[in-house]
């Protein structure tokens, strides 16, 4: 049984934005996995959840996503609260999309907001190494760490394929 997106998405955003950093996994064209730490910003408008990552379209990650445009992200904190997302990815690289993405990170609430100019080589939204990666979730999971100790903490799961 899965929960509704309207239930899971707000809980996911709260936990993800509290934890901030996520381990992200992609696979290359031969199916070999690779992980790295990323800093997504999530937007929930009441019906749609969208993830945004400021990252380089020139990276190894970009090459992986060209072969398989999907990503899995996992957030974890020391009290064992975890949330994860699997999703389809697409690049937003037009001048307007880069500017909107840059602004999204500058204006995001603390602690997820930051000025992308702190990253070497990202002087402006039009810097060659700056891009915006969009994530459209296909699966979400939110689990309170207290469940690992046998309590009745929350466990929420949403699958896009189960809602259609």
pLDDT tens digits for range 18-65: 999 999 999 998 999 999 999 999 999 999 999 999 999 999 999 999
- Extract the tokens encoding 60: 């190894």
Q: Identify the bridge partners of residue 91 per DSSP, sorted by sequence position.
A: 133
Neighbours of 133 (CB within 10 A): 26
Instruction: Of 161, 110, 164, 116, give the one whose Cα is nearest residue 139.
Output: 161
**CB 85, CB 135: distance < 8 Å:** yes
Give the domain extent around 112: 5-162
- Extract the tokens encoding 70: 């999907």
Number of structural domains found in the chain: 1
Its pTM stands at 0.94
Three-state SS for 32?
coil
- How far is CA 19 from each of CA 115, 143, 162, rounded to the nearest angstrom? 18, 13, 27
The pLDDT assigned to 29 comes to 87
Report pLDDT digits (tens) over 109-120.
Answer: 999 999 999 999
Instruction: Of 53, 3, 48, give the one whose Cα is nearest residue 23.
Output: 53
With tokens 């936990």, the residue in question is 15
Domain harbouring 135, CATH code: 2.30.110.10
């Amino acid at each position: 049984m899965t929960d509704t997106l309207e239930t899971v998405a707000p809980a996911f955003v709260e936990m993800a934005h509290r934890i901030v950093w996520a381990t992200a996994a992609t696979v290359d064209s031969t199916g070999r996995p690779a992980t790295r730490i990323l800093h997504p910003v999530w937007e929930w408008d009441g019906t749609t959840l969208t993830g945004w990552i400021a990252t380089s379209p020139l990276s190894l990650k970009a090459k992986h996503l060209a072969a398989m445009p999907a990503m899995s992200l996992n957030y974890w904190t020391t009290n064992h609260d975890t949330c994860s997302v699997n999703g389809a990815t697409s690049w937003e690289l037009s001048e307007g999309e880069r500017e909107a993405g840059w602004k999204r990170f500058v204006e995001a609430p603390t602690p997820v907001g930051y000025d992308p100019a702190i990253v070497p080589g990202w002087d402006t939204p039009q810097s060659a190494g700056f891009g915006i990666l969009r994530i459209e979730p296909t699966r979400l999971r939110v689990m309170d760490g207290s469940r690992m100790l046998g309590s009745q903490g929350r466990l929420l799961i949403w699958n896009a394929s189960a809602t259609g």
